[in-house]
Amino acid sequence: MNLKDFLKNVYFFSSLKENHYSLIEDIIEIRKVEKDEVIFSEGEKANGFYIVKEGKVKIYKISFEGKEHILHIFGKGEPFGEAPAFTGEKFPANASSIVKTELLFFDREKFIELLKKYPEISIGIIAVLSKRLHNFTTIIENLSLKEVPARLGGYLLYLNEKNKENGDFFFLDMPKKFLANFLGTSPETLSRIFFKMKEKNLIEMDGNKVKILDYDTLKDISEGVISLKEV
């Protein structure tokens, strides 16, 4: 897939006119990073934003105790770092690659200049930022108010919705140790909850391949209507 076709499949740019893609291509810088390489650090000036072309990137913060907490995982076609880049602020968290990754980098000044000339490009970006805000609000709610089975249930439902094109199954989008960190629990606890969900025929799993067998019950668990113990 050439770069123009790739950009057409990025939600950020999916509503643009044909002539806009070549304009965007002209300001892109391709960056390749190795596994576990830092892309930017918290407090660093945001001089641009990124889109994942291949690979995976984690956004995380480090606690006072030195513990890493993952805020989000971004995969192919997903932008990150755009909010502070647009406002000219500093990155509020750290970013590093989970696997060998290829990124598209958009210099802040060049991109803003492009938006001034073609303001219609900004419409898709506003939609992405609104969706991102909603997702982070949901994450904060899950981590602060819900039990771990509810957090996991909600995340599985999110992945199922996100990957409808796969049919009745989807793949976990991060290793289980990262998923445990993301959900604010330990790998051991996460494994036990996965086992109980399989035992109660809520899900079916084969490695990182997942199929939801009882959508309604899993939804009730994710919303706190019932607990996993009550199933």
pLDDT at 153: 93
Euclidean distance between CA atoms 40 and 61, whole angstroms: 12
List, for residues 60-93, the tens digit of each pLDDT value. 999 888 888 888 889 999 899 988 998 889 999 9
Domain 147-230 has what CATH class? Answer: mainly alpha
Q: Nearest CA to 215 among 172, 154, 173?
A: 154
Pairing type for strands 101-107 and 28-33 reads antiparallel
Domain ranges of the chain: 3-141, 147-230
Cross-strand pairs, 106: 28, 49
List, for residues 199-213, the tens digit of each pLDDT value. 999 999 998 899 999
DSSP state of 45: B
- Regarding predicted confidence, which is higher, 126 or 69? 69
Annotation: CATH topology of 3-141? Jelly Rolls (2.60.120)
Rounded to two decimals, the pTM is 0.72
Euclidean distance between CA atoms 70 and 151, whole angstroms: 14
Residue 134 has pLDDT above 80, yes or no: no
Token pair for 82:
């755009």
| Cβ atoms of 148 and 224 closer than 8 Å | no
